[in-house]
Structure 1
Amino acid sequence: MMKNLLKMIFVMAMATGISLIVELFGVGSQSIVMMFLLGVLFTAVLTRSRGWAVSSAVLATLVFILLFTEPRYTLHVYNGADLILLGFFLVTAIVAGTITSRLQTQMELASSNEKTAQTMYKIALGFLSASGTNSVIKIGKDMLHNYVGIDGDIILGEKPIEGKTEYPIMSASGLQGKLVLNEQSEDQKVLVIQALCTQLGIALEREKLVKEREEIRMAMEKERQRSMLLRSIAHDLRSPLTALSGSGSLLSDNYDKLTDEERKDLACNVSEETVWLIDLVENILGMTRITEDHLVLKKQDEVIDDIVGEAIKHTERLFKENKLNVRLPDEILTAPMDGKLIAQVIINLLENAVCHTKRGTLVELSVYADNGRIAVSVSDNGDGVPDKIRSKLFEKFATQNEDIVDGRMGLGLGLAICKAIVEAHGGSIRYADNKPHGAVFTFMIPMEDSHE
């Protein structure tokens, strides 16, 4: 109040001083009245108050009567023209001061509304990039500090908070939480806080819907894979079981009629089909352990030549009609590994090379050192991998045909198991085209354990 009073006195003093100066140059009372009218307008602008504008008009009238009407230095006015002039001046000054004050107030309100609108736009824009509930909460706290100037907390759920100012965070599905302020906010900031709560509610609702949609997608994917696994197991078991049943029945019913060579062939068929079933079950169990995070490595220093030898011995039956060329390094290469699992990787790669190529295909197994890592490469000169499954080659159930057909194409688990085992050893596996045609699968594992 004292500040506005000093402003009014200063403006009126300036108007009076200028009026006294211009009167010396013969300027009439009508022009002097305009000088005081300007003073009233300046007072209204500086004080931004209708009351101070009216007060300055009254003060200007008194000063004009005292200094510029006859008789001078009194509050008496004998000239009728001066009275009319003063009456018009007082009314004009009050109206002009009021209008100016209101216009100033409206301009300030418009400016404040513009800032509020910009703030609300920034708040809405800020939540667009939020991903995850924690990110939404962090952005909300930062905005509360930046745009309201106070700190607070965002409490999810309906937990009651006592002794603090809180605002509900609502969404279409109901109460999402509360915005709790650490201190009282200014009245003009309430609209910003409410807008912040609205955007928080929308963002939290969006994250909730995204989470629910992802859960539904995961459940559907899990059900799809379960159905595919059951269907694939039923198919893959049918062929070897049929062969076992046929060979067993033939041996049982015609044992005496069969020659030794025929009985030997049937026994070999039984053995091969049994090994196939064992490999199938091993892959299923291996993927189950990997999916449930039960893959435990029993590492120890192993010579890679021994592991390769074990894998080749296990897959000898596959190369009766195919050729296998093995290239081992001259030096002895060792690495910390789970020998059984690495052998399983090599077995799966060799089986893939045979099962997905024609009879008589040349398969090459190469082992070499590469910058502190042991590299194992399995290549063939078949038709290679179709473009449509390359992007998901190391995923579960990645097969050349989605439809189940007769033949041993496998469950599509082999490469997924290989990838999981190799990565558990801190290594990597990749696919490349063989030149001029065929496929090359290479995996690498470090020669030294990075965890030591």
Structure 2
Amino acid sequence: MIALKQRKIMSCAGKTFLVFVLATLISLGMNYLGISKESIIMVFLLGVLFSSTITSSFIWGIINSFASLLAFNYFFTEPRFTFVMYHTTDVILLVFFLITAIVSGTMTSRLQKQIEIAEKNERTSMVLYQIASGFLPVSGEKNIILQGLAFIEEFIGQKAVVKIDQTGAVYPEQVYAKGLKIPAYSFPIQSAAGNLGMIQIFEAAEVMDKQNELIAKSIATQLGIALDREMLYNEQEEIKIAMEREQLRATLLRSVAHDLRSPLTALLGAGNLLADNYEKLTDEERKKLAHDLSEEILWLTNLVENILNMTRINESGLVLKKNGEIIDDVVSEAISHVERHINGRKFHVHLPEKVVMVPMDGKLIVQVLINLLENAIRHTPPDSEIALEVFEGRKVIKVIVSDTGDGIDSNIKDKLFEKFVTLEQGVTDGKRGIGLGLTICKAIVEAHGGTIVAEANAPKGTRLIFTLPLEA
């Protein structure tokens, strides 16, 4: 600090001396040209003004004033080259020169300081604006803190460390202040929740002035505001996720309870009828009741399978067990699960002429086909047509399940693959179902790296198309 003041004094002294020498040389030149001493003394006055301006201190202007007074007396008053004055006019001239030089130098110095203060305030205002706006687009605790450290290095020229009280984290991870325990400067990071941490500067290249301290405090304040905002945002996101999870759970329970009621009632009725009137029923009636029982049990099995698959997707994601599967075998297995529900509908199957091996999780793709076929059966009248077509492309296998039903309702067209989409809710996966089938299909197909879309089937009906890559 002392060395810095000494360097500053030496610099001001050198500047003042240089201006004084230059003013003296110019005055000697003017005297050589025969210019009057009244004009020459103005050169020394200008020198005083320049000294006050370039040193930003009226003290050096006053020093230059006395030095100029002595120089003028020595070189330009009679008798010359002495400090003696014979003429009263010269004395009055020098007295007025001294007064004018001191006043004008002082005013110039003060004006210069006011200009410097205004420039510093303008710079500080611009810096504070950049700091306030610089935190707005940044998110994430680490990114916010690193942005604050970058501002300190950019606007103050110091490297700092941020310590967070709640987690004990220190940023940056490679701490600059290795081995140092007492910081040179500390600025608390405050927020609405209290003290969040501290900005610490361990090594300062020079003493910070008031502007830099103001900038550092502003960075700490804005850092606290940004971190507070980030915590509030994270809390809101957690609340939102919790509310969505609760809503999802409630919807699932409501849907399962609603859709289990009908098949369980049917099972109970058919079972009681068989138990109470078995001998009285004909073989045809017993066969019909057994068929109804089997159909309801199969529907319940598929419902439970969809719920389990949805749970796997939500909680841990799908874990695929890919193997090379022959697409004909996968299609045959899926058809065997739903053929009893076709009930007189015209069902067409088209498969590639040659054997096609596709890398897939066979069990999951069978579930996709079952869901798509059940969806087609559920939404078509008994006299409609359903088709399952498989086409081999260059890089993908394309599977199309089409029907000639009423098509996709306009209310659900954009939400067809979302969870719990049913016509009863204004949005559908089935007339009797909890709206998970198509959602599960989409998750399984995309997990395989494929795509699935729904489109209209000319002249009527719906086409559900999904692709699977032929190469793992």
Q: Please classify the TM superposition score into its range, dividing by the shorter chain length.
A: over 0.9
How far off its partner does 1:342 sit?
0.8
| 1:265-311 superposed Cα distances (whole Å, 9 cap, x missing partner) | 11111111111111111111111122221643333221111111111
Equivalent residue runs for 1:156-195 within 5 Å = 156-157=164-165, 159=168, 162-164=181-183, 165-184=185-204, 186-188=207-209, 189-195=212-218
Contact 2:389 2:399 in 1 (8 A): yes
Change (3 A) 1:298 1:46: closer
8 Å Cα contact 1:354/1:361 also seen in 2: no
**Residue in structure 1 matching 2:402, options 355, 369, 379:** 379
Contact 1:232 1:404 (C-alpha < 8 Å) held by counterparts: no
Q: CA deviation at 1:246?
A: 1.8
TM-score under structure 2 normalisation?
Answer: 0.89
| Structure 1 portions without partners, runs of 5+ | none
Gaps of 5+ in 2: 1-8, 171-180
Name the structure 1 match of 2:124: 116
| Contact 2:163–2:169, Cα closer than 8 Å, also in 1 | no
Question: What displacement does 1:151 show?
Answer: 2.5
Specify the alignment match of 2:176 in structure 1.
none
- For residue 439 of structure 1, the aligned residue among 449, 452, 462 is 462
Q: Which residue of 2 aligns with 1:7?
A: 15
Q: Distance in 2 between matches of 1:160 and 1:275?
A: 56
Quickly say closer, same or farther: Cα 1:255–1:443, change in 2 above 3 A. Answer: same
Q: Say whether 1:131 aligns with 2:162.
A: no
Specify the code of the residue in structure 2 equivalent to 1:80.
T
Rounded Cα–Cα distance in structure 2 between residues aligned with 1:134 and 1:8: 51
Name 2:174's counterpart in structure 1. Answer: none
Query: What does 1:249-328 correspond to in 2, within 5 Å?
Result: 249-293=272-316, 295-328=318-351
TM-score by length of 1: 0.92
Q: CA deviation at 1:174?
A: 1.4
Alignment of 1:40 with 2:35, yes or no, is: no
Shift of 1:361: 2.7
CA 1:208–1:85: 2 relative to 1, 3 Å: same
Residue 346 (structure 1) aligned to one of 358, 363, 369? 369
- Asked if 1:99 corresponds to 2:107, the answer is yes
* Counterparts of 1:187 and 1:32, CA distance in 2: 44
Moved more, 184-193 or 336-345: 184-193
| Distance change in 2, residues 1:42/1:404 (3 Å) | closer
Shift of 1:413: 0.9
* Structure-2 residue corresponding to 1:361: 384
In structure 2, how many angstroms separate the alpha carbons of the residues matched to 1:234 and 1:42?
Answer: 93
**Alpha-carbon distance, 1:199 to partner:** 1.5
Alignment partners' CA distance in 2, 1:5 and 1:166:
36
Deviations 1:196-253 (A, max 9, x none): 1111111111111111001001111011111101100011101111111222222233
Confirm or deny that 1:237 pairs with 2:260: yes
> Any idea what the Cα deviations from partners look like across 1:135-160, whole Å, max 9, x if unmatched?
21232232233222232333322549
Deviation at 1:343, TM superposition (A): 0.4
Q: How many angstroms apart in 1 are the aligned matches of 2:394 and 2:136?
A: 45
| CA shift for structure 1 position 62 | 1.1
Compute the displacement of 1:14 (Å).
Answer: 2.5
Q: Contact 2:270/2:289 (CA < 8 Å) preserved in 1?
A: yes
Paired residues of 1:235 and 1:404 also in contact (CA < 8 A) = no
Closer/same/farther in 2, CA of residues 346 and 213 from structure 1, 3 Å limit = same
- Structure 1 residues 357 and 174, CA gap change in structure 2 (3 angstroms): farther
The within-5 A match list for 1:23-38 is 23-38=31-46
1:51 equivalenced with 2:74 (yes/no): no
Change (3 A) 1:20 1:295: closer
**Distance change >3 Å, CA 118–CA 326, structure 1 → 2:** same
Q: Which residue of 2 aligns with 1:427?
A: 450
Structure 2 counterpart of 1:125, which letter?
S
Cα distance, 1:321 vs. partner? 4.2
Contact map agreement 2:423 2:431 (CA 8 A) in 1: no
Aligned match of 1:77 in 74, 79, 85? 85
Would the aligned equivalents of 2:411 and 2:426 in 1 still touch at CA under 8 Å? no
- Percent identity (aligned): 49
2:405 aligned counterpart, secondary structure: coil
- In 1, the alpha carbon distance for the partners of 2:146 and 2:32 equals 70
The 2-side partners of 1:326 and 1:384 are apart by 20
Q: C-alpha root-mean-square deviation of aligned residues, in Å?
A: 2.3
User: For 1:157 and 1:355, how far apart are their aligned partners in 2?
Assistant: 60
| Distance in 2 (alpha carbons) for counterparts of 1:15 and 1:63 | 10
Query: Which has the higher mean CA deviation after the structures are superposed, 182-191 or 418-427?
Result: 182-191
CA distance in 1: counterparts of 2:427 and 2:372, whole angstroms: 21
How much does 1:403 deviate? Answer: 6.5
User: Closer, same or farther in 2 for the Cα pair 1:426/1:114, shift >3 Å?
Assistant: same
Does the residue aligned with 1:265 lie in a helix, a strand or coil? helix
